[in-house]
Amino acid sequence: MIEIRSLSAKLGGAPVLHDIDATIAPGRVTALVGPNGAGKSTLLAVIGQLLKASAGSVTLDGADLSDMPPPERARRLAILRQNTTITPRLTVADLVGFGRYPHSGGRLDDADLRIVDACLAELDLSALAGRHLDTISGGQRQRALIAMTLAQTPRALLLDEPLNNLDLGHVRRVMEVARTRARAGVAVVVVLHDLSIAARFADALIALKAGHIFAAGPPNEVVTGPTLSALYDTPIEVHEVAGSRVVLT
C-alpha cells in the first residue's frame, strides 16, 4: 500500500503539488488523470523519490520511501517515466534484464532469466528479444520499457503514460497486465489521458487539477460528465456502452 500524506512539491522553486493525501491500495489499478500540467508526472516522480517533496511523506507498506536505501527501494518500487532515453545498442532482452539488476546485482541466474522471458512474453516481445533498440518501432520500445519495470517484480508499479505509441491491441494487453499485477498484490498507478480506458481498466481514479486532488474514487463516481467537464474545463459527455463508460469530447 502506498500512503501519501500532506505531500507538497516544487519545481524550479514554484509550488506544483499542494497538500496531497491519497492511499493507493494493492490489488487495484489506480489511474492518475487530469489536464496537462496538473502535476501527474510530478506526483509519480515524488512517490518514486526522483524528486524530493517539500513537505509531507510517502510510505510503501508502512516504510518511508525517502529513508529507504536506493537498492532496497529499487527492489520494491519500479517507475516508468515519460521520455526515457536508453542506449540504442542494447537488445530488448538486455533492457528487460536490467529490470532484474536490483535483485541480481548484474549477474542473472536461471530464475532471473525465467522472469525476463516471462515479461518479454507478457508484452508480446519474445520474437524481438535479440533485436537492438534502435531497430524496433516506438511502440515496441515502449513495450520493452514496460517489460523492464515488470521484471523488477516490485511491490509498487508506477507507469507514466505507458500507452503512448501503442496500438489498440497492445493498449488492452498493457492494461490487462497492469490488472494482473495488481490482482497479485502490487500497488499499480498508471497515468492515463484516455478516460474511456481509465474507466474500463482502472479500479480507482485520482484526478489532479492545478496540483490539487480534484476528485478521487471508483470510475462510476469520477468518470461522469459533470466531474470531467469541470476537471478539464470543457464540455464532456459520458455514455454507457456495453457496460463500459465511454467519454466523448
Ligand X SMILES: Nc1ncnc2c1ncn2[C@@H]1O[C@H](COP(=O)(O)OP(=O)(O)OP(=O)(O)O)[C@@H](O)[C@H]1O
Q: Which has the closest alpha carbon to 100: 71, 123, 61?
A: 71
Q: How far is the CB of 199 from ligand X (least distance, A)?
A: 18
> Distance (Å, rounded) from C-alpha 42 to C-alpha 51?
8
Q: Which is nearer to ligand X, 115 or 199 (CB)?
A: 199
84-113 positions binding ligand X, by CB under 6 A: none
Specify the 3-state DSSP secondary structure of 35: coil
Taking CB under 6 A as the criterion, the residue among 30, 41, 149, 224 binding ligand X is 41
Q: How far is the CB of 40 from ligand X (least distance, A)?
A: 4
The site for ligand X, by CB under 6 A, has a size of 12
Residue 42 lies near ligand X (rule: CB under 6 A) = yes
Is-contact 112 103, C-beta < 8 A?
yes
Q: Which helix (H) or strand (E) holds 160?
A: strand 156-160
Q: Where are the beta strands (DSSP E) in 25-111?
A: 29-33, 55-60, 63-64, 77-80
> Distance (Å, rounded) from C-alpha 17 to C-alpha 150?
28
Q: How far is the CB of 136 from ligand X (least distance, A)?
A: 24
DSSP letter, residue 91: B
Site string for ligand X, 184-213 (x = CB under 6 A): ------------------------------
Residue 149 lies near ligand X (rule: CB under 6 A) = no
Q: Which is nearer to ligand X, 79 or 125 (CB)?
A: 79
Amino acid at 132: H
Q: Which is nearer to ligand X, 99 or 162 (CB)?
A: 162
Q: How far is the CB of 203 from ligand X (least distance, A)?
A: 21
> Distance (Å, rounded) from C-alpha 68 to C-alpha 241?
45
Is-contact 156 2, C-beta < 8 A?
yes
Q: How far is the CB of 57 from ligand X (least distance, A)?
A: 19
Amino acid at 46: V
Q: How far is the CB of 171 from ligand X (least distance, A)?
A: 17
Taking CB under 6 A as the criterion, the residue among 40, 100, 143, 209 binding ligand X is 40
Chain residues that interact with ligand X, rule: CB under 6 A: 11-12, 14, 16, 34, 36-42
